[in-house]
Amino acid sequence: MDEQHKTGHIDVWWLYDDGGLTILLPYLLSRNKKYKGCSLRVLTPASDKKLKSNQVRMASLLKKFRITFSGIVEVVGMNSKPSSESIQKFKQCRMKNELSVDEPIDKKTLRQIRLGELVRQYSGESKLTVITMPVPRKSVVPNVLYMSWLETISADLDSELLFVRGNQTSVLTFYS
């Protein structure tokens, strides 16, 4: 990596509340000389119930912690079906022959494929992309499938990518 200052966005994909780690890490990185010229842009799934409710809640949270940001984008279509091209690509990219190409794809996997599409669409130009890591259930999601999810989400991105998984313990004292 070069040591030049970067300008542009650090995209933060806040998919669920993980205790604040997904917001804290990019904020701290933006203070580093490498990303000093980058602004934080938070992307969150659009709420089905109230228009702009996620935007308002996130803006309030960021202001409360004095975290500067350039914008909050509610991403529409997170639960939409991914394109058939993306589904085919997922089936072809699975690690070796450990998973059958003919088995039906479950809802969680379709959501991860769709997330990958949206990350490429919205964050293709960002300097750093930080994404809330999907939480696997070991008894339900095989290791190979989980790694395929991560590969699908991060595939074909030119920017640096950081998956973050908090443990639902607040790192920002937001409940006090």
**Residues paired with 45 in a beta bridge:** 75
pLDDT reported for residue 101 = 59
16 or 152, which is more confident? 152
pLDDT at residue number 163: 94
| pLDDT above 70 coverage of the chain, percent | 81
Between 170 and 115, where is the model more confident? 115
Q: What is the pLDDT of residues 82-117, one digit of tens each?
A: 999 999 888 887 654 565 656 778 899 999 999 999
- Pairwise pLDDT comparison (175 vs 125), residue with the higher score: 125
CA 154, 159, 160, 161 dihedral sign is: negative
pLDDT greater than 70 at residue 173: no
Identify the pLDDT of residue 176: 40
Confidence of residue 171 (pLDDT cuts 50, 70, 90): low
Give me the sign of the Cα torsion angle 120, 117, 16, 43. Answer: positive
3-state SS class at 8: strand
Q: Are 35 and 4 in contact (CB under 8 A)?
A: no
Q: Which residue has the higher pLDDT, 153 or 167?
A: 153
Kindly report the average pLDDT of the chain as a whole number. 82
Helices and strands of the chain, counted as H and E runs: 5, 5
pLDDT digits (tens, 9 = 90+) for 34-50: 898 899 999 988 876 65
The domains located in the chain, with CATH, are 7-164 (3.40.50)
